[in-house]
């Protein structure tokens, strides 16, 4: 079964998948962490691979940027390919001074400025949250490896270059960091009754203005990758 965005056949994709935004990060994970990895997708250069990690079948696939893009890919993975556990791994921008460059941020919840949830015709605002089992396993992995991490709320924003510094208003509400995809992923997972978690590496700070290079973003997030894979082998 293929889709307009995915050439995989039924069975090519594992029940658990890691979802970086950058397809080259998916390639990096397949080449450096998975054994016997095979590529199941190249459509639109959105690379997807399936292999094993510590004997467990695991997939990894890029999703692109924004709620619209991950909304498409995660929906197809869930409904067309039977994926049950979706772990987003990406970069984020810190909004709090105690969240440092290179820290791992785990999204217990995702706030948003998008209108993604309007499709569900809910009589209010939907609180998009992670699956607690995946979140608790990720925390244990970070503790085991002694990686610096924080857990809390993130902002899934539609806007990268904002005319105004609206992030400061979100920061006043205790939001830890900004990214662009988790809200849609959590919505899709909740609607389908499957599991989802967003894990991020802090690539820049809105306060200190520090930032990682593009190469560091692509290849330097190994702590986050190890945490996500450590969760995957338990599912």
The catalytic site residues sit at 204
Contact 187, 121 (CB under 8 A): no
Residue 20 to residue 10: CA distance in whole angstroms: 22
Q: What are phi and psi of 19, to 5 degrees?
A: -130, 85
Longest dimension (CA), the chain: 48
Across 179-194, b (16+ Cβ under 10 Å) vs e yields bbbbbbbbbbbbebeb
Residue 25 to residue 43: CA distance in whole angstroms: 16
């Amino acid at each position: 079964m293929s889709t307009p965005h995915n050439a995989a056949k039924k069975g090519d994709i594992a029940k658990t998948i890691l979802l970086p935004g950058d397809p080259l990060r998916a390639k990096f994970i397949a080449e450096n962490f998975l054994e016997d990895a095979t590529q199941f997708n190249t459509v639109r250069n959105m690379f997807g691979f399936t292999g094993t990690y510590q004997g467990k079948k695991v997939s990894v696939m890029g999703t692109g940027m924004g709620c619209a893009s991950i909304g498409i890919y995660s929906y197809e993975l869930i409904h067309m390919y039977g994926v049950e556990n979706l772990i987003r791994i990406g970069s984020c921008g810190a909004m709090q001074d105690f969240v440092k460059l290179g820290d791992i941020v785990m999204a217990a919840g995702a706030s948003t400025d998008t209108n993604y949830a309007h499709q569900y015709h809910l009589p209010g605002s939907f609180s998009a949250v992670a699956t607690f089992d995946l979140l608790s396993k990720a925390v244990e992995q970070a503790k085991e490896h002694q990686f610096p991490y924080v857990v809390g709320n993130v902002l899934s924003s539609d806007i990268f270059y904002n005319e105004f510094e609206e992030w400061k208003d979100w920061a006043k509400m205790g939001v830890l960091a900004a990214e662009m995809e988790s809200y849609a992923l959590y919505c899709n997972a909740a609607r389908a009754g499957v599991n989802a978690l967003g894990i991020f590496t802090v690539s820049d700070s809105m306060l200190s203005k520090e930032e990682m290079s593009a190469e560091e973003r692509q290849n330097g997030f190994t702590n986050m990758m190890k945490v996500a894979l450590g969760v995957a082998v338990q599912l």
